Amino acid sequence: MANTTETGKHVHYADVLLPLPVAGTFTYKVPDQLKFNIAIGKRVIVQFGSKKVYTALVLALHDQAPGQSRLKDILDVVDDRAIVNNRQIQFWEWIASYYMAYPGTVMNTALPSALKLQSESRIMLHPESSLENSILDEKEQVLLEALHNRKSLSIQEASELFKDKNAIPLIKYLIDRSLITVDEEIKDRYRPKIESFVRLTREYQDESKLQEAFDQLDKRAFKQLQILLSYINLTRNSSSAGEEVRRSTLVKSVQASYQQLNQLIRKGILEVHEKVINRLDAPEAVADPDQIILNTIQQSAWKEIKGHFDQKQTVLLHGITSSGKTEIYIKFIEQTLKSGKQVLYLLPEIALTTQIINRLRKYFGDKVGIYHSKYNEHEQVEVWNRVLDTRRKDHYPVVIGARSALFLPFSKLGLVIVDEEHDTSFKQHDPAPRYNARDCAVYLGGLHKSNILLGSATPAFESYHNSQHGKFKLVTLKGRYGDIQTPETHLIDQKKDPRIRQGKSHFSKSLLDAIDQTLKENYQVMLFQNRRGFSLRLECNECHHVPMCINCDISLTYHKQFEQMRCHYCGFHTRIPKQCPECGSHEVFMKGFGTEKLEEELSLLFPENRIRRMDLDSTRSKFSYQKIINEFQERQIDILIGTQMITKGLDFDHVNLVGIMNADSMINFPDFRSYERSFQLMTQVSGRAGRKHKRGHVFIQTYDPFHQVVQYVLNQDYEGFYKSQMQDRLQFKYPPYFRLIQLQLKHRDYQVLNKGAREFADDLRQHLDKTVLGPEYPLVSKIKNWYIKQILVKTDKDSSLAGVKKTILHRIQEFHHHPE
Ligand code: ADP
Ligand code: ZN
Ligand code: ZN
């Protein structure tokens, strides 16, 4: 981008990024009439291919004629100001190259959907076009007439009006003559929210004048009278006479119609005006961060971190659960804001934010923006714009968000926090780019020369490894805030418990006793049930047939709530069979157990207590998660049963008992990280117990109480566990010592896939002097009728990753061009 300029005054060419999985950028000509408007970071409309029109993003403007002779023109410029800045573009390019994705694909992930560059643009008549004065040929007439009748057409539909099926030159010509325009829809899918308000006109704000109005409105205008009275009533407490009331509120208050209100407006008594409404209203700060007094442990951690920041070092804060990491974050956020810079606070899942948002808003109020996928597209754009424009009064200098918040248009990040940095949901698995938000955050922070702080009670081994080898600086917080002891952990051997052994219950006697005791003492209980592999399925007692999904290679899960069996991958569902479809036996039983089953059993055992379940099924709607958390916090729930969701960083005051239902299922999950994950999960969920008042208790139910993972959890020995795991990782060539690149091949035809995968793996082996494993079926080998195979490439850390990736990409291209 050596010779490029930010704006287009003197340039002839623009390199644009298309929202498509294609390599590189494409060069277009900038027509004279767009030169003053075009700029880097703005969206433009271009034709790509013979018929399609896309919105693309300008990455460079320059004057060097490319080799190609016949370049197409940019058709239009969408934005008034750049919506993406240079750093973001650099960031996208890095993600694309590191995770082997196309930059256009990264852009699609990065932009909120309302800004998204739609592939199918629509055209419409230009609102200010005057057709009367135009001389039109036949084709033009046909098109304009169609637009007149149908309001808007896609380029595709427009093309179908003509024999040669290519309307683009014509469309371009008409756009140039301002007869048609690209649909507003694409120019601005985002619209500010506008509402109408009603108030007394200036004239009738006068008391006596108002009295006159009442007198005039005789009995026949009874509804109008009611409206007016209601208006007076609604504004009674305000000081000014011209106070406004939401129009809809006023009309609804007396069940009037808008026509009836309009009559008052016509009489000049009331008036209406429109206002842009802030969708994201936030409360003001109510406390000052200076009021937080760090204890001595926190204080010295804070100093250490500060020292590393001054040296521009990335810090890993290893603080046990409830050590008060958040308080330290708040101090650094405060400092960053004072220096006039922005803060990005990443959390693994928005699930967590309910509490954190409240804690941060207490100190930073409406400076804190929130960004996540459950926001609708308009809300997302609003946050985007408020981060983009640092001069706005409602600018957000602090953003809390899940991984997608990485992509917001920050211009001067001063602090990046990745909380619960070990969490696996920072990794996006599908679709591409398959990025890890923690690693991206470190890169992004580097681009901005910002401070970077990763925090966890159970750091990811990769991060801990980095902190042992100089890449990060390690700071530890060993004590819980308030000197409360970490909980006492009890291991329950399920083999020895008669109730469990005989299949009568999921709960051991000791756990049930502990629950009973805790409830009697008026404390709360949390029960953790690992989701993976232990959902409820049906199984025939005679032939052991398990009903499977018809599209995917996975057993169907029983859902009591819907009286259905469902596939968790594709959503396929079916009724519960009365008899085995294989052998006809009527002995079809539930096997395994899910959170639902636990809830059912507990409600029989503790009928007096309030029991709630939190998992994906019970939290589908936007606020249900928040609701359950709030209810639990306010102690309207006694026992909370949940999956992974309840492990994450939540801070409750009255939980004194945590039960981990089946440790083995997570430990034995076939993945090289499953020991690490199990340790993290069990430690994290244990950390919810006994945070405020007295020492808590944790019960772990397992068939293998001497398993090393369970033992390390029991002894709270992170370092020991890390060391022993590192030996395994080295020996079996896993990260952090080796890099893994996983390739996935899919085909609907099983045999084609098998043959292709084998040949491709052999080809890779010939061209890479690296370990190439596979092809192998993954755990779920068929999803939505696509068969899947995986190939794993292991490369040591010393060899060039770029070189390996290049070879792989090259082999993939060759493979596409010369399939056997
Ligand atoms: P972590 O994130 O390390 O698990 P938290 O930040 O949630 O720990 O802190 C645990 C509890 O202790 C929270 O309720 C928090 O408000 C409280 N706490 C921690 N540090 C302080 C402090 N310096 N002053 C007052 N309360 C604190
Ligand atoms: Zn059967
Ligand atoms: Zn399925």
Separation of CA 576 and ligand 2 centre (Å):
14
Mutate-to-test residue for ligand 1 from 481, 486, 693, highest number of ligand atoms within 8 A of CB: 481
Q: How confident is the model at residue 119 (pLDDT cuts 50, 70, 90)?
A: very low
User: From the CA of 476, which ligand is nearest?
Assistant: 1
The 3-state DSSP class for residue 385 equals: helix
Torsion 591-594-596-597 (CA) sign? positive
Ranked by mean pLDDT, which of 285-289, 359-363, 389-393, 464-468 comes out on top?
A: 464-468
Yes or no: say if 46 and 31 are a contact pair by the CB < 8 Å rule. Answer: no
What count of other Cβ atoms lies within 10 Å of the Cβ of residue 433?
20
- What is the structure's pLDDT at 754? 92
CB-based contacts of 772, cutoff 8 Å, min separation 6:
761, 764, 765, 791, 792, 793, 794
Backbone dihedral angles phi then psi of residue 28, each to the nearest 5 degrees: -130, 160
CA atoms within 13 A on the CB side of 357: 20
Give the range among 67-76, 102-111, 700-709 with minimum mean pLDDT. Answer: 67-76
CB neighbour list of residue 806: distance below 8 Å, 6 or more residues apart: none
Closest ligand 1 atom to residue 477 Cα is: 3
Choosing from 295, 320, 323, 326 the residue with most ligand 1 atoms within 8 A of its CB, the one to mutate for a pocket test is: 326
| pLDDT tens string 691-726 | 887 889 999 999 889 999 999 999 999 999 999 999
Q: State how far the Cα of 164 lies from the Cα of 175, in Å rounded to an integer.
A: 20
Q: Where are the beta strands (DSSP E) in 484-637?
A: 488-493, 524-528, 537-540, 557-559, 564-566, 573-575, 588-591, 611-614
Residue 594 tokens, joined: 């899910």
The pLDDT > 70 percentage for the chain reads 89
How many angstroms does the Cα of residue 41 sit away from the middle of ligand 3? 41
Mean pLDDT of 583-591: 79
pTM for the structure as a whole: 0.78
pLDDT of residue 532: 45
Which of 49-53, 146-150, 531-535, 731-735 is the least confident region?
531-535
Sheet strands side by side (includes 564-566): 557-559, 564-566, 573-575
Reference 43, options 80, 94, 95; nearest CA is 80
pLDDT bucket at 646, cuts 50 / 70 / 90: confident
Residue 629's pLDDT band (boundaries 50, 70, 90)? confident
Please give the distance, rounded to the nearest whole angstrom, from the Cα atom of residue 565 to the centre of ligand 3.
11
- Concatenated DSSP letters for 560-603? TTTTEEE-TTT--EEEPPSS-TTT--S-EEEES--HHHHHHHHH
Mean per-residue pLDDT for 757-777?
A: 89
Burial of 757: CB neighbours in 10 Å, binned 0-12, 13-18, 19+:
buried
Whether residue 675 is predicted with pLDDT greater than 50 in this model: the reply is: yes
Least confident of 13-27, 32-46, 169-183: 169-183
Which carries the bigger pLDDT value, residue 407 or residue 223? 407
Which residues approach ligand 1 with their CB closer than 6 A? 292-295, 298, 319, 321-327, 481, 649, 651
Question: CB 270: neighbour CB atoms within 10 A?
Answer: 24
> How many A from CA of 781 to the centre of ligand 3?
11
Highest mean pLDDT among 69-83, 351-365, 746-760, 764-778: 746-760
Which ligand minimizes its atom distance to the CA of 329? 1
Q: What is the pLDDT of residue 259?
A: 85
Give CA 606 to chain center in angstroms.
Answer: 37
- Whose C-alpha lies nearest to ligand 1, atom 22? 294
pLDDT band at 117 (very low <50, low <70, confident <90, very high): very low
- For the segment 636-640, the average pLDDT, to the nearest whole number, is 94
**Beta pairing class for 655-660 and 697-702:** parallel
**What are the distances in angstroms from CA 423 to CA 372, 454, 618, 680, 681?**
17, 11, 22, 9, 9
